[in-house]
Amino acid sequence: MKIVEARCWTKAHKLKEPFSISFMTFDDILNIYIKLFVENGMHGLGAATPVEEITGENHQGCLDVLEKNLSSELVGMDITNQDYFLNTVGELFLDFPAARTAVETAYQDVYCKILGIPLATYFGKKHESFPTSVTLGIQSVESAIEQAMIFKEQGFRVIKVKTGVSVEEDIELIKNLRDKLGKNIRLRVDANQGYDKKSLRKFFSSTEACNVDFVEQPLPEDHSQQMVNLPEKIRINCMADESLHVPKDAAELVKEPQPFGSFNIKLMKCGGLSNAREIAQIGEQAGIPIMWGCMVESVISISAALHTALSCQNTKYLDLDGSFDLLDDIAEGGFVLKGGCLSVTDDPGLGVILKDNSD
């Protein structure tokens, strides 16, 4: 079964509200979408969300490499030779992880459509559902509490809080959130590289009674080895994010003494589903639990991450709320959200369809 046509296009998505993390603020997001058509008329969908500070590629570079290679290299390839196809894609998009993710997602989508099964089933589904966290961007204590209460009323039971600008303000925020939300809402923190060792120690000692699940990437990416000098009690409650891109990084991070107690895998950051599953496997062998994260993304790539997450034994957490922030996603379907939990549908492939006139 050969690829007979490949398309890509760009869409700018407005966010429902501006979203801030420790080092940048988003008002909108530029996504790139692709369609791969095969001989029987079926097609697969993929999406790329390149953010240079995170994926290492900018939007134009990602678009250029897709436009250069989709028709010239992929059209005519036989998708039934999966190893060859994925190896070729890995070489073509070696330095463009978001582009590689888009292509591999579209490939796996159409491949599983041909088989007539969901992607999670093809990968070997291990789990049915997990609660997803929803994220509070950096904002005032008052507005964060107001938004958190809305999330709680909507049925979400896990809230992730962006921090990393001022540890004193972060401590105040976490204490206030715990007080207002009660003990049954789980709290997680993502510092996005905003702390140093001193402020991280202060955060942990000051919020010990708040029952925070973990702190994501507290120190800058290039300071990760400083983590090993922290007490194990802190390290085991910290999660690698920006320090973890590709399987080689995972192999380093599982060496003793382990700087992090858990891993955050993002498809856009690691370069696709194959790399993500390899990272998860490395983590599983070392007893490292996995969270599956995202940026502000379409349901296309969120669904790809969810299908992959449900196929990995050591998946423990989901942070797949990125499509909730879009005003105008081009696609729908792919997953079911119920009681704050995500599960996939029984539809083949990703189970995602484009809205009218999206391409």
pTM: 0.96
Each residue's pLDDT expressed in tens, for the chain with a length of 359 residues: 999 999 999 999 988 876 667 666 667 889 999 999 999 999 999 999 999 988 999 999 999 999 999 999 999 999 999 999 999 999 999 999 999 999 999 999 999 999 999 999 999 999 999 999 999 998 999 999 999 999 999 999 999 999 999 999 999 999 999 999 999 999 999 999 999 999 999 999 999 999 999 999 999 998 878 999 999 999 999 999 999 999 999 999 999 999 999 999 999 999 999 999 999 999 999 999 999 999 999 999 999 999 999 999 999 999 999 999 999 999 999 999 999 999 999 999 999 999 976 66
Residue 179 CA to residue 165 CA, distance in Å, equals 22
- The H or E element containing residue 276 is helix 273-285
Per DSSP, which regions of the chain are E strands?
Answer: 3-21, 24-38, 43-48, 130-131, 134-136, 158-162, 186-190, 212-216, 238-240, 262-265, 290-292, 315-318, 331-333, 335-338, 341-344, 352-354
Q: Beta partners for 5?
A: 37
Burial-class residue 39 by CB neighbours within 10 Å (0-12, 13-18, 19+): exposed
Q: How far is residue 46 CA from its own chain's centroid?
A: 14
Is there a contact between 160 and 138 (Cβ–Cβ < 8 Å)?
no
The dihedral over CA atoms of 66, 71, 74, 79, expressed in degrees to the nearest 10, equals 120
The predicted structure's pLDDT at residue 17: 78
C-alpha–C-alpha distance, residues 141 and 165, integer Å: 13
Contacts of 307 (CB under 8 A, 6+ apart): 118, 119, 120, 123, 344, 350
Task: Give Cα 265 distance to the centre of its chain.
Answer: 6
DSSP calls for 213-270 = EEEE--S-GGGGGGGGGS-HHHHTTEEESTT--SHHHHHHHTSSSPS-SEEEE-HHHH
212, β-bridge pairs = 187
Helix 167-181 with 141-153: angle, nearest 10 deg:
30
The CA-atom distances, in angstroms, between 280 and each of 82, 130, 250, 312 are 20, 16, 9, 7
Nearest alpha-carbon partner for 77 in 176, 19, 1: 1
Positive or negative, the CA dihedral 351, 106, 53, 12 is negative
The candidate with the shortest Cα–Cα distance to 325, out of 11, 24, 12, 16, is 16
CA–CA gap between residue 38 and residue 42 (Å, rounded): 6
Contact 10, 30 (CB under 8 A): yes
Q: Are 191 and 22 in contact (CB under 8 A)?
A: yes
Peptide bond into 257 cis (omega under 30): yes
Which two three-digit tokens encode residue 294?
A: 């995202």
- Across all residues in the chain, what is the average pLDDT? 95
